[in-house]
Structure 1
Amino acid sequence: MPRPTRAPPSPHPHSESPAPKALRRRRRRHPSISGAAAAAIHPSPPLPPPSIHLRRCRRLPIPPKNRSQRSRRTVGMEEPMSRLTHDLMAEILSRVPYKSLCVCKCVCPAWRDLIADPESRKKIVQSLAGFFYHIPADSAESRGLAVNYADLSAFPWASVPRTYPRLPLPPDSADCFFTVKDSCDGLFLTRIGTGTPEPQSGYMVSNPTTGEYILLPHSGYAGNCCGSYLGFDSGVSTQEFHVFQFVMGWPDQDQDGVPPVVTGLNIYSSETGAWVAMEPKWDIQVSLCGGPLGVFSEGCLHLLIHLDGLAIVDAKGLKWRTIPVPNFIDPSFSGFIGKSAGQLFYINSDDSEEGYGSASFSTISVYVLSEGIYNQDASYLDDGCAHWILLHKLSDVIPKENFCLGWDLKVIGVHPHANIIFMADFNNNELLAYDLDHRESTAVHHIERTYLAHEQYFPYVPLLSSLRLATPS
């Protein structure tokens, strides 16, 4: 009688071969355990990779065996880039952020030469090259422009100007004195005063890179109590600049020792070539801080004001807004605002005012303003400074264990593309560059003590774009 045969086990649902013999032996040792329990105790072996069961598979490229084959293949990969024209490559690189542009210099000699080419640099983004700062008038030239230049082009994060920058002056200005009031994305705003019995003042906007300048018409304001600021964005295609003249005064003549408040505003547009006068429309009386410069961003001018605030007005005079800033010290003494990578920075100390000048007053806080602030309709925001984001809290900027911001150190600028802030060190008579990423300070320029205490520093970014200033003949 023939011996009965056992039916073969059912195949695995995801496998084309029967179960291994080792698995069948394990199942015989536990005849009383159900299939689900047995599977839990003795799980199935991992499935083989699907590529093993594929009858047809894509052949992988075989790496070249010798150097000649590799070189021919490399040439084939670079061929599409080599077909691009010089102007097209410059147009592509002009859209690359500054940090990535520095990396592009290391790709090949052709890219390095293209980025360094003067004609290409007119389109490519430029970085900080140095600072202009005021000096005592007795050491200035006869025309009365009392400024010096701190050259920082030797550092890797700086731009190298084609020529040594000089602020241009109009002819026949021997009887005039000039005061730099503001700088913005490569343009400089200078106030021109006359020494006549009836003093008059006007404004000039100039480009030190090209030597061009334009004399603005008179604003109609004949007084001397005003604040002047420049608004310009080199990244906007319109290439329009604005000049803001804030007229200030005292509503109550008996308020001695109280800073003046803004009573009027004149805005000049390079597109129309005319001034527009208007009254301030802030919800509160605004008193501008005299020391810090303004920041033009998102089409608006930002200014630090007394009572721990920031005042904002757009170039058309349509949007007026004030917001608080996160600090306990009057921003007119130690506060600073600047723009880097398209973001607005606020730098001050978070130490309490009771500890001002003591050992506890020795930190610097760096905040960035939330971009959503420009989408809100409220003219005054008081949300506990939730729109400010703390980026850094520094206590090791200088070797001195305890320092006072505004007394030992003064923030004078931020790098437009890198995480670097610039400070004047009053103890060592130096300008410092502090790297926020690596927490390192570097002395970048030596300056005399008399030039440090109360002077302003105006950042210089070479402007090589197609902006044309109508230079008078």
Structure 2
Amino acid sequence: MAPGSKTKKGVEEGVPVDTLTDDILTDIISRVPYKSTCCCKCVSTRWRDLFSHPDHRKKLPQPLAGFFYQSYNRDRFPKTARYFTNASGEGEPLVDPSLSFLPKYSSIDILDCCNGLLLCRCWKPTDPKTLDYVVCNPATEKWVVVPATDWSSKVDVVRLGFEPAISSHFHVFEFIDEEVWGIDEYDQSDLDGRIAAVATYSSKARVWTHQIQTVEENHFAIPTHSKGVFFNCVMHLAAFDDMVVTFDIEGNLLYIIGTPRSWPYYNDYHVNDVFVSQGQLHCTSSSGSKSDRSSLSVWVLEDYSLGKWTLKHTVSHLQLFGTDYSAGLHYNVISFHPEHNMIFIVCGQENTLMSYELDCRKRHFLRQLGWDCQLEYLGIEKKTPFIPYVPLFTESSADGP
């Protein structure tokens, strides 16, 4: 019998699920696979509203769709190409990596992704080169332009902060080093790349503000590839010398937190990237020799004020990669799953994407991304930014006024 139809006695018969409260219904939906939740949004207006309500978003699945990344090949034109690979390692890309819905620019660099929004640096075909920042939502193909600052064309580290469960507005962070800030060479500190100022942009206020970082109090440098983690309205970034620096949405430094050190310290350019999973900050470290890091450890931050990390998991490289991969292996941990005890790694000469489930200690080799997706600069191997993407189907300030 169709919903809302009448029985023989003339009594209107409702749908049993309509008697459930929103909290109970949300809890039920949160337990089904993500693909099924997409269909749930089409059931009724009430079900659609459940997905957009801030109180329920936290409970619903947040699937990791895949990763944006770039490759470089000098024998190819263009030499640099952008890709998207699904987290499953299978099928056609779920997202068009060209972002063809954006306005036409000379070139586009994806700098960061936060809870479904991408931060892009879009270069204009002008001389000298000028740019826009663009914050976009690939799921809705909507975007807004963020005006550049006087330093934007020279800043290496720019990150995005966005928490849809708290606000529909986003924040952009520019971390400006001493040279870019304009400090005379003779007045610069002895720390190469020290951050001199933090510029922040609010999509609500639509203005940039700046916070000066004094040498006496704040002595840190942030690698170009350091991942940005934004949660609880705080930006977290891994910095050199085994630390995490945290900032509020106005660019004020909150905490400097030490991280567990990889041993021995085999690479001057190495940092312990930070990730958020299940509402907690995580990092990884490796131990062993330079040619054979014998194990990988996973840590979780238990106490901000004390900088206390707790060891969550350790796995040997032999168990993690197998005999074919473990000897002299090069690898990078590129992401944690946002809701599960799972990490994603790129390893080996062919840059194989793999996942590892901590609870059951199972590894899955997903696909080979190709030898040309790891970058080198002046003989120093640097990480390719693999940018994890989680779709966002609700509205944000990136959808325009």
TM-score band by shorter chain is: 0.7 to 0.9
Q: How far has the Cα of 1:280 moved from its partner?
A: 2.1
Deviation digits for residues 291-343 of structure 1 (CA, Å, limit 9, x no counterpart): 23111122111111111111111112345221111114368425221111111
Deviation digits for residues 53-81 of structure 1 (CA, Å, limit 9, x no counterpart): xxxxxxxxxxxxxxxxxxxxxxxxxx998
Structure 2 residue matching 1:244: 3-state secondary structure? strand
2:83 and 2:196 map into 1 onto residues whose CA distance is 34
Structure 2 residue matching 1:397: 3-state secondary structure? helix
Q: 1:240 aligns with which of 136, 157, 169?
A: 169
The aligned residue for residue 245 of structure 2 is: 311
The aligned residue for residue 268 of structure 1 is: 201
Q: Which 10-residue stretch deviates more, 187-196 or 131-140? A: 131-140
Shift of the 134–164 alpha-carbon distance from structure 1 to 2, 3 Å rule, reads closer
Give the aligned residue type for 1:269: S
TM-score by length of 1: 0.66
Q: Is the 8 A contact 2:88 2:366 kept in 1?
A: no
Shift of the 397–220 alpha-carbon distance from structure 1 to 2, 3 Å rule, reads same
2:207 and 2:97 map into 1 onto residues whose CA distance is 29
Q: How far has the Cα of 1:398 moved from its partner?
A: 0.0
1:235 and 1:415 map into 2 onto residues whose CA distance is 18
The aligned residue for residue 221 of structure 1 is: 151
Q: Which 10-residue stretch deviates more, 208-217 or 396-405? A: 396-405
2:108 and 2:81 map into 1 onto residues whose CA distance is 8
1:297 and 1:281 map into 2 onto residues whose CA distance is 25
Does 2:115 align with 1:189? no
The aligned residue for residue 359 of structure 2 is: 437
Q: Is the 8 A contact 1:190 1:205 kept in 2?
A: yes
The aligned residue for residue 278 of structure 1 is: 211
Q: How far has the Cα of 1:441 moved from its partner?
A: 1.1
Deviation digits for residues 383-404 of structure 1 (CA, Å, limit 9, x no counterpart): xx5x101101111210138848
Q: Which 10-residue stretch deviates more, 452-461 or 442-451? A: 452-461
The aligned residue for residue 125 of structure 1 is: 61
1:338 and 1:404 map into 2 onto residues whose CA distance is 27
Q: How far has the Cα of 1:170 moved from its partner?
A: 3.3
The aligned residue for residue 399 of structure 1 is: 322
Root mean square deviation, CA, Å: 3.8
Shift of the 117–82 alpha-carbon distance from structure 1 to 2, 3 Å rule, reads closer
Does 2:338 align with 1:412? no
Does 2:258 align with 1:324? yes
- Identity over aligned residues, as a percent? 24
Segments of structure 2 that go 5 or more residues without pairing to the other structure are 1-12, 53-59, 376-382
Structure 2 matches for 1:201-212, cutoff 5 A?
Answer: 201-212=131-142
Q: How far has the Cα of 1:166 moved from its partner?
A: 5.7
Structure 2 residue matching 1:320: 3-state secondary structure? strand
2:327 and 2:226 map into 1 onto residues whose CA distance is 17
1:293 and 1:198 map into 2 onto residues whose CA distance is 29
Does 2:300 align with 1:365? no
Shift of the 313–181 alpha-carbon distance from structure 1 to 2, 3 Å rule, reads same
Shift of the 167–257 alpha-carbon distance from structure 1 to 2, 3 Å rule, reads farther
Structure 2 matches for 1:49-60, cutoff 5 A?
Answer: none
Q: Name the one with the larger strand percent.
A: 2
Give the aligned residue type for 1:270: S
Runs (4+) of structure 1 moved beyond 6 Å?
115-119, 137-142, 254-257
1:112 and 1:271 map into 2 onto residues whose CA distance is 29
Q: Is the 8 A contact 2:200 2:208 kept in 1?
A: yes
2:325 and 2:74 map into 1 onto residues whose CA distance is 36
Structure 1 residue matching 2:393: 3-state secondary structure? coil
1 or 2 for the larger relative contact order (CA 8 Å, sep ≥6)? 2
Q: Which 10-residue stretch deviates more, 278-287 or 206-215? A: 278-287
Q: How far has the Cα of 1:85 moved from its partner?
A: 7.0
Shift of the 303–95 alpha-carbon distance from structure 1 to 2, 3 Å rule, reads farther
Structure 2 matches for 1:280-359, cutoff 5 A?
Answer: 280=213, 283-328=217-262, 329=265, 332-333=269-270, 335-351=272-288, 355-357=289-291, 359=292
Shift of the 369–139 alpha-carbon distance from structure 1 to 2, 3 Å rule, reads farther
Q: How far has the Cα of 1:438 moved from its partner?
A: 1.1
Does 2:107 align with 1:177? yes
Shift of the 470–350 alpha-carbon distance from structure 1 to 2, 3 Å rule, reads same
Q: How far has the Cα of 1:164 moved from its partner?
A: 5.6
Q: Is the 8 A contact 1:409 1:424 kept in 2?
A: yes
Q: How far has the Cα of 1:203 moved from its partner?
A: 0.7
TM-score by length of 2: 0.77
2:367 and 2:204 map into 1 onto residues whose CA distance is 38
Structure 1 residue matching 2:147: 3-state secondary structure? coil
1:104 and 1:200 map into 2 onto residues whose CA distance is 41
How many residues align? The count is 361
Give the aligned residue type for 1:317: G
Q: Is the 8 A contact 1:185 1:460 kept in 2?
A: yes
Give the aligned residue type for 1:132: F
Shift of the 290–96 alpha-carbon distance from structure 1 to 2, 3 Å rule, reads farther
Shift of the 93–302 alpha-carbon distance from structure 1 to 2, 3 Å rule, reads farther
The aligned residue for residue 371 of structure 2 is: 449
